[in-house]
Amino acid sequence: MKIKKRLLISNTVMVIIPFVITFIFAYSLFFISSTFLDKDIRYNNLKKLANIRAELLNVRSSILKQNEVALDDNFQKYLSVSLSSINGKYIITDGYTVTVFPQEFSKIDVEKIIERIKDSSLEKGVDINGLTYVIEYADITLKDGAKSKVILMAPTEKIDMFNWFLLITILVFIVSFICINIVMSYEISMKILKPINSLKKAASEISSGNLNCEVIEEGDEEIKELCHDFELMRIQLKDSINMKMKYDDNRKMLVSSISHDLKTPITSIKGYVEGILDGVANTKQKMESYLKTIYSKAEQVDLMIDDLLLYSKLDLNQLPFNFEKTNIIEYFSFCIEETEPELLKANIKIKLENNLEHSKFVMLDRDRMRRVIMNIIDNSCKYMDKEQGEIVIKLRETSTSIIAEIRDNGKGIKESEVNKIFDRFYRADSARSGAKGSGLGLAIAKQIVEGHKGKIWAVSHENEGISIIISLTKITESRGNYEEYIDS
């Protein structure tokens, strides 16, 4: 639920529920008063009270409209007729003397009424002879200029019950309104503050370096979105730190591996140079042999540095690719023709097996992919232990990809180590000291293939060789409203 909607509902509830509680209380009080207390404060009686008071006010108004009043029989008859509809009574005073009052009233009752009109609580009425009278009065001027007072009265039900009922009803509304507001405010604050406190705690944990503190998504919709974004931030921060640690470890390994791999040729170069300086190469043939060896070792160091620079650029995505639509069959045929003479000198045969039936086109950076194929073939030559070596390139396809498998019949690699051969500077222990190269060949191949949005992996055949498999996405063309693979 959104916070705006929750606040709207809660504010509505804060207003409606107190009214509902007050209505139920008032109805219950009506029922109890009528049934058990014999007090009828229902609507009809309240209406009757209002009519009686209105009639008294009308008579009072008509009296006040008269400029000079004569306290004669006609005036008294007028009062009797005017009040007859509500069974009213009247009292007339002449100055401080009571001149006219109902026969059923005693002087004490009259004094009680006169005292009551001096305060402002006329709505409470006056109890006389077991009845409650509503009172109104009018100050008049007689013809002789004397001041007089006319007190008008009408019997009704006890009205103090109504006042008490009204007071209690208002009190119930106020109390229920305050209680509902407190409860709803507490509920709203808990719905908002609880997830915020959890978020605050998680932020504190993260700021102290604990990135394993998961942020739970709870609360209203906006707060859930905030918690979700905060959790994504935590995960990304954790991943970035883990990546940094991984890069630091890789950097340390890189320095260690470079030092190890560069040390051997450099040591050789130093040894041969010292031999020349010490006069060991005292013949033209020895001098030539020493210089050729130094040149070979320098080329090896140069190759290592070139591979290292290439791998660094690939790893940092700083090397652009120039993709072209390429016929994969023709491409591999060209690569075989280029390498076949050198392979034959090493007594290694190479051939292409084409099992493609539909698409044969992919997007390639020809130069970069050639580096991949050459690196794989060079690796096969380095670890070839058979008298008659053989490298087979097999092309096949799936519904979306073209698969190129480069398989040799060399010494192979253990199944447990097959996933490590694409790591930087990795060599099988048994072959490390004798193998030439930078140790980055397959790592570079992996970076280039992934730059083509492809995949590369290895399958070991134990002592019967190894397969390096490359998967590349097919190219399709749209014709009309359907797709058709491009054929030859």
pLDDT in tens, the chain (488 residues): 676 777 787 788 888 888 888 888 877 876 776 665 555 555 556 667 778 888 888 888 888 887 777 777 788 888 888 888 888 888 888 766 777 777 778 888 778 877 777 765 545 567 777 777 888 888 877 777 777 888 888 887 655 555 666 778 888 889 988 888 888 888 877 777 787 888 888 888 888 878 777 777 777 777 778 888 888 888 888 888 888 887 777 667 667 766 766 777 888 888 889 888 888 888 888 888 889 888 888 887 887 777 777 777 766 666 788 899 999 999 999 999 988 888 888 899 999 999 988 778 899 988 889 888 988 998 888 888 888 899 999 999 988 899 999 999 888 788 777 878 887 666 554 443 445 555 677 888 888 898 888 999 998 887 788 999 999 998 865 433 334 333 43
Helix (H) or strand (E) holding 189: helix 160-207
Residue 432: predicted pLDDT: 38
Q: Count CB neighbours of 185 within 10 A.
A: 12
Helix (H) or strand (E) holding 396: strand 389-397
Q: What's the CA gap between 264 and 269, in Å, rounded? A: 9
Beta strands 348-354 and 389-397, pairing class: parallel
Q: What is the pTM of this model?
A: 0.47
Residue 402: predicted pLDDT: 92
Residue 477: predicted pLDDT: 52
Q: Looking at the DSSP assignment, which residues form a beta bridge with residue 351?
A: 392
Alpha carbon distances (Å) from 392 to 77, 410, 456, 471: 137, 12, 17, 16
Residue 486: predicted pLDDT: 35
Q: What's the CA gap between 383 and 377, in Å, rounded? A: 10
Torsion-angle region of 465 (φ positive above 0: left; ψ -120 to 50: alpha; else: beta): left
Q: What's the CA gap between 378 and 435, in Å, rounded? A: 11
Q: What's the CA gap between 366 and 356, in Å, rounded? A: 20
- Whether the CA torsion 228, 233, 234, 235 is positive or negative: it is positive
Residue 472: predicted pLDDT: 93
Residue 471: predicted pLDDT: 93
